[in-house]
Amino acid sequence: MKKLLAILLLAAAMPAAAKVDVASLKVNHLSEPSGITGAPTFSWIGSSDRSSDSQSAYEIKVYDIDGRAVWNTGKVLSDNSIAVRYDGAALKPATRYTWQVRIWDSAGRASRWSAKQTFVTGLDTWKAQWIVPEMTEESPLLRRDFTVKKPVKSAIAYFTAHGVYEPFLNGAKIGEAYMAPGYTSYDHHLMYQTYDITAQLRRGVNVVGAELARGWYLSMMGWTDPAQYRSNFRQKEWALLAQIVITYKDGTQEVVATDADWRTSTGGVLHSAIYDGETFDAAREKALWCTAGFDATGWAAVSTADYGYDNLVPQDNEQVKTEQTVAAKELLVTPKGELVIDFGQNLVGSEVIAFTGKPGQKITVSHAEVLDENGNFYTINLRSAKAQSNYICDRTPRRFTTRFTFYGFRYIKLEGIAKEEINLDDISAQVRFSDMEPTGSFVCSDPLVNQLQSNIQWGLRGNFVDVPTDCPQRDERLGWTGDAEVFARTATFNRGSCAFYSKWLKDVAFDQLPDGQVTDIVPMVHGLVGAGHVGWADAATIIPWTIYMAYGDSQVLENQYESMKRWVDFMAGAAGDSYLWNTGWHYGDWLAFDVDNDVAGKSSVTYVPVLQQCHFANSASIVANAAEVLGKAGDAAYYSNLAAKAREAFCKTYVTADGFLVSHTQTAYVVALIYDMVPEDMRPLLAEKLKERVESYGHITTGFLGTSHISNALTACGMDDVAYKLLLHKGYPGWLYPVTMGATTIWERWNSMMPDRTIPDNGMNSFNHYSYGAIGDWLYREAAGLKEAAPGFKKICVKPHPGGGFNFMKAEEITPFGKASSYWTLTGNIFTLDVEIPFNTTAEIYVPTAGGYERHEVGSGKHHFSSEI
Ligand code: BGC
């Protein structure tokens, strides 16, 4: 009876299902915002039980820690729900705030107030001093104790380091981040992390500490002798900066910060570096070193350093965290007798091995993405990266893992342990990368294409470890701009990428050369590689525009505008009066199809000036468009004129009257079509040539710059059949070839592994390179047919492209307005289309019919269409 009453009471307390609702609150595009400085922006997702409904008004309230409203917008008549900027009195530093929102729909119905989202503000004044433990191979531990004598209202901790660090309080790690403070162009931009530690603090003695390791800051980054290049990092020693701001219930504040009173020693990590891996000695670990009971007499003093605070900024992207744990699948004994664990998935992160060893027993764990043709462990493609963990046991049960590096691997090889000692259930792998929200899914009737989509998503997981990287395993793992440029559109469909790219783009601008050239990698390692290369440098224009279109917040354009302009101005300067940009060495259509013996002229090498001109014009157009969005009419006119001139020069110089390009390659036609280089009436001529180029080879021949667009170009020219033929080609080169070879990620090369499973040792052969995965954009956008028709999906276009023998495709996307989806089926000639359009958006739907597309305008809600085709 009591129970029944409780249920009844609960039911009565629950409000009736809301008709208009609001959820998914974000501050600065983050669902776990912290370290907020300046005036934050607020976003939310509304919903309604009515179709064709939209937001007519909103009201936002921001509360301080005592629940007092510090900002109340009142009812604002607006349909905006993306990045509404705070406009109240300045927020206090080191303070916890909450906010909530309610909305009204088009019929004037109000939602409930949303649940509150918490955010903590950043620091305005650093009192902490940089502390510098001695630079040795071993990772330093740093600690100090402090006493809390009064009841605490809040305690906010700020940490950053030269190197990477893990923060601790009273014996437990603070937060869940790995690889903090992240990888940035450190001289310009070093992020600090903000942690709300109120719940972890206790009355009496507390101990705060951190463990440091080299990380990106102090590891060798790059593949040549480090003496040859000038590091862009200011120091060659590690350092820690930490400040805790305690606010007591009586209103007073106290600061505990790094200073000369901190003490240091070493712990279990004997060595750690990004490429090499990590060595941990359990016997050397100092148990409970960060607890009050620990006796730290004998720990060394630290020195302090005057590095200043000028480059410090709060972390404004997602932290690197463990996203999932993958169980070990199989223990193999290779023909060579190696003990190898297969995780069944090429992934990025670290192994976790629960094991109780004998004192001094050293287990060496090597990492590999593939086995060779004989089934032996293969590490040649890691080049100079050792990628090894060493775990030295004591006699206690341990959960060995690395904490300051990451590996790209599907297989691990175990040495120093007998086969009988290995228990598969005790071995797993943690997948670690920037904690970006999953926002997209794509499924279809072809299992091989579904595997391709899975490989694309795993490529994203593996190459988004705080910066967008080329690959996660060998001695690179660098922020290659070209790779980022070709993959960004696909990334936005699969994960919430706004904060991630916005953060990295700031470094693109910081590292840009004084003459406007954009560096090949960001953060830049000077002397390692160059700058100003076609397709790579265009990351500076293409990615901000991509992010703006996907998320609808012009802030990224504002942030990047000068940088975007400077890159285009560089090209314009180099082109001069001819408007032809054709100078300099370039990577070109990197990794295009190449035959060893080219007597038949079948290698597919695109004339680089053709690529240059197309990218020059495209980037100029992007700047013109950005100028328009930002209300800079003069610039808009200037850059659109520049783009027109560049296109004119292209047509005059590189195109014949019959629509031949001087470079008769798939990539040349693709890039010319995608970047609108020829007048409308010439497009069919170029399209014809592109088709001929595809048919004459019978497969794709494009490299990085062509591959990311070839399917889109074919669809844009009405050649879906050709696009599908390329997609479904199962031999080399083609997207499905690696899939048929059992790939679980995207390969760097079309032939990273040959059909007989031999692996060409060509010095550059990663099995986890996302670039060719850029077809993911086409799968969502064209094949399934779901794309933005206005920035941020405020207007949506659903235009499926059935074909290729598929019976269904379904793309779902959590847009800034909520879930949108396009699901089509084809049975015989009966086509059906089910569409979901989120609240506060509208859509144009194109239903394929026998006679072409039939256009419908719809509002939010679910819509069903069918036709005969
Ligand atoms: C990287 C690439 C990069 C290229 C430059 C390679 O070593 O892995 O993906 O874009 O160099 O051409």
Residue 199 DSSP class: G
**99 vs 112: CA distance, rounded Å:** 14
**751 vs 703: CA distance, rounded Å:** 12
Residue of 693, 730, 732, 696 lying closest to 714 (CA atoms): 693
CA-nearest residue for atom 9, ligand 1, is 470
> Which of 223, 384, 463, 470 most suits a substitution to test ligand 1, by most atoms within 8 Å of the C-beta?
470
pLDDT of residue 587: 97
Give the distance (Å) from ligand 1 centre to CA of residue 481: 9
Give the distance (Å) from ligand 1 centre to CA of residue 480: 7
Give the distance (Å) from ligand 1 centre to CA of residue 760: 17
pLDDT of residue 227: 59
The reply to whether 748 belongs to the active site is yes
CA-nearest residue for atom 4, ligand 1, is 480
**287 vs 864: CA distance, rounded Å:** 62
Residue of 335, 371, 355, 376 lying closest to 428 (CA atoms): 355
**Distances, alpha carbon 7 to alpha carbons 2, 11, 749, in Å:** 9, 6, 60
Q: Which atom of ligand 1 is nearest to the CA of 764?
A: 7
Please work out, in degrees rounded to the nearest 5, the angle formed at the alpha carbon of residue 554 by the alpha carbons of 549 and 558: 130
CA-nearest residue for atom 12, ligand 1, is 587
The reply to whether 476 belongs to the active site is yes
pLDDT of residue 236: 76
**139 vs 405: CA distance, rounded Å:** 13
> Which of 528, 585, 590, 707 most suits a substitution to test ligand 1, by most atoms within 8 Å of the C-beta?
590
Q: Which atom of ligand 1 is nearest to the CA of 481?
A: 10
pLDDT of residue 11: 39
Give the distance (Å) from ligand 1 centre to CA of residue 703: 12
Residue of 762, 779, 787 lying closest to 837 (CA atoms): 787
**749 vs 181: CA distance, rounded Å:** 32
> Which of 467, 471, 474, 483 most suits a substitution to test ligand 1, by most atoms within 8 Å of the C-beta?
483
Give the distance (Å) from ligand 1 centre to CA of residue 590: 8
CA-nearest residue for atom 5, ligand 1, is 587
pLDDT of residue 4: 41
pLDDT of residue 125: 95
Give the distance (Å) from ligand 1 centre to CA of residue 453: 22
Give the distance (Å) from ligand 1 centre to CA of residue 770: 11
Given a contact cutoff of 8 angstroms between Cβ atoms, the answer to whether 617 and 646 are in contact is: yes
Q: Please, what sign has the CA dihedral across residues 642, 645, 650, 655?
A: positive
Ligand 1 shell residues, CB under 6 Å? 470-471, 476, 480, 482-483, 587, 590, 764, 769
Q: Which atom of ligand 1 is nearest to the CA of 471?
A: 8
Report DSSP letters for 240-276, one per residue.
Answer: EEEEEEEEETTS-EEEEE-STT-EEEE-SEEEEETTT
Cis peptide before 523 (omega within 30 of 0): yes
Give the list of residues 6+ apart from residue 631 with CB closer than 8 angstroms, or none.
Answer: none
pLDDT of residue 761: 84
Q: Which atom of ligand 1 is nearest to the CA of 482?
A: 10
pLDDT of residue 467: 98
**685 vs 694: CA distance, rounded Å:** 15
Q: Please, what sign has the CA dihedral across residues 853, 854, 858, 861?
A: negative
Residue 284 CA, chain-centre distance (Å), reads 36
> Which of 480, 770, 772 most suits a substitution to test ligand 1, by most atoms within 8 Å of the C-beta?
480
Give the distance (Å) from ligand 1 centre to CA of residue 264: 40
pLDDT of residue 139: 96
Amino acid sitting at position 310: D
pLDDT of residue 229: 55
Low-confidence ranges of the chain (pLDDT < 70): 1-18, 225-235
**151 vs 254: CA distance, rounded Å:** 12
The structure's pTM equals: 0.96
Give me the catalytic one of 285, 318, 351, 476: 476
**404-456 per-position pLDDT tens digit:** 999 999 999 999 999 999 999 999 999 999 999 999 999 999 999 999 999 99
pLDDT of residue 599: 86
Q: Which atom of ligand 1 is nearest to the CA of 529?
A: 5
**272 vs 219: CA distance, rounded Å:** 8
Give the distance (Å) from ligand 1 centre to CA of residue 493: 24
Give the distance (Å) from ligand 1 centre to CA of residue 316: 27
pLDDT of residue 527: 75
Give the distance (Å) from ligand 1 centre to CA of residue 606: 17
Give the distance (Å) from ligand 1 centre to CA of residue 381: 14
Give the distance (Å) from ligand 1 centre to CA of residue 522: 12
Q: Using CA atoms in the order 195, 199, 202, 206, what is the torsion angle rounded to 10 degrees? A: -20
pLDDT of residue 354: 98
Structure tokens at 570: 């560089």
pLDDT of residue 601: 86
**77-106 per-position pLDDT tens digit:** 999 999 999 999 999 999 999 999 999 999
Give me the catalytic one of 211, 748, 788, 812: 748
Q: Which atom of ligand 1 is nearest to the CA of 771?
A: 9
pLDDT of residue 12: 40
CA-nearest residue for atom 8, ligand 1, is 470
Please state, as a whole number, how many other Cβ atoms lie within 10 Å of the Cβ of residue 207.
20
Report DSSP letters for 701-732, one per residue.
Answer: ---HHHHTTHHHHHHHTT-HHHHHHHHH--SS
pLDDT of residue 753: 96
Give the distance (Å) from ligand 1 centre to CA of residue 771: 10
